Amino acid sequence: MKIAFIANPLSTFKIYKDTTYAMIVEAARRGHEIYAFEHKDMAFEGGAVVANITHITLTGDPDDWYRADAPVSQLLSEFDAVVERTDPPFDMEYIYATYLLELAEVQGAHVFNKPEAIRSHNEKFAIAQFSQFIPPTLVTGDAARIRAFHREHQDIILKPLDGMGGAGIFRVKQDELNIGSIIETLTHNGTRTIMVQRFIPEITSGDKRILLIGGKMVPFCLARIPQGGEVRGNLAVGGLGVAQPVSARDCEIGEMLAPILLKRGLLLVGLDAIGDYLTELNVTSPTCFQEIEQQTGFKVAEMFVDALEQAV
C-alpha cells in the first residue's frame, strides 16, 4: 500500500516515544510505501485536493532515521490510506484541513480518522455523549453556573475545551482560592465555553490512556501518574507513565464505545479515564503506543497497521 501520514514535521519527532513513528516503522516493515506531509502542504487546485507530498525511506539510524525525497504535488486520492496524525491545537486551520480531507474523500481518498468524525468529536466535550460513564460535569461559560457547581461539589477541575497536554487545567478546592480569576481567565470574561468536573481523587493512581483500535481494545493502558505535587498526569507536564492491564471498568467503557466510534469513522481513539470515570476522548493524534509496548511487550503498532490494512 501507499500510505501518506499527515503529521507534524518529521524532524521534530522524539522517536523513542513517538506513536506516529511507531506506525511508520511497522508499516514500512511490512513493505508499504511511506509518504508524509503537513496540513499546510494541502490545497484545492484544479478541482481536486492535492498536497506537496514527500516519499520517505527509513535508514535504521536513530540519529538520522529517514531520508526524504523532494516533495511532489499529488492527488490525495492516489494513496491507499491517508493517516491524520497532526497534533492539536484544534484551531480553525485544523478545521479547514478537515474540510479539504473530507472533499478528498469524496474524490476517492481513504482518510483515517475520518475528518468529519474528528471535527464532530471535541476531545473534551465528546464524552457528554456517554454520560453514564463520566463524573459530574458542567459545560458553560456562565460564571454563576460554575460557582454553583463548585458549591455543590466543593473540589473541582476547570479546563478549556481546546486544550492539550494538560495546558490550562486548574483545580479549585473548598477554599475557593482564586476561583473568580480562574473563571475570568478560562472563559475570557464569559465569552468562551469551558468544562468543569468534580475532582476525582483517584488521579493519584494515574490518568489512564485506553486505546481503541479498529473497534477493539488494547488490553493494556498507560496510567499517567502526577509527580511532584501536580494535579495533572499528562506526560507533557512530567507525569510518570506506567503500563498496566485494563480494569473491569475500563473494559466496560471501552467495549461499549469501541464499535460505536469505529462505525463513526474513528479507527483509532484514545480514551482518558480516572478511576471509574471517562474524562476525555482523543481522536486527533492519540499516543502511548511505544510506552505500552516497551513495558508490556504488546505490539500496539502491529494492531494498528492490521486495522488499517483491513479498513482499506
Inter-CA distances, 176 with 27, 181, 182, Å: 51, 10, 10
114, 198, 208, 209: the catalytic one is: 209
113, 122, 234, 282: the catalytic one is: 282
Residue 223 CA to residue 311 CA, distance in Å, equals 29
124, 162, 208, 250: the catalytic one is: 124
Q: Is 224 a catalytic residue?
A: yes
Q: Is 232 a catalytic residue?
A: yes
85, 114, 159, 208: the catalytic one is: 159
18, 105, 280, 291: the catalytic one is: 280
Q: Is 293 a catalytic residue?
A: no
Q: Are 17 and 29 contacting, i.e. CB atoms less than 8 angstroms apart? A: no
Taking residue 176's Cβ as centre, other Cβ atoms within 10 Å add up to 13
Q: Is 162 a catalytic residue?
A: no
Q: Is 280 a catalytic residue?
A: yes
Distance spanning both ends of the chain, measured CA to CA? 9
18, 38, 162, 272: the catalytic one is: 272
85, 114, 208, 224: the catalytic one is: 224
Q: Is 2 a catalytic residue?
A: no
Q: Is 124 a catalytic residue?
A: yes
Q: Is 198 a catalytic residue?
A: no
Q: Are 118 and 98 contacting, i.e. CB atoms less than 8 angstroms apart? A: yes
Taking residue 173's Cβ as centre, other Cβ atoms within 10 Å add up to 12
CA 203 to chain centre: 19
232, 234, 250, 293: the catalytic one is: 232
Residue 147 CA to residue 183 CA, distance in Å, equals 9
Catalytic residues: 124, 159, 209, 224, 232, 272, 280, 282
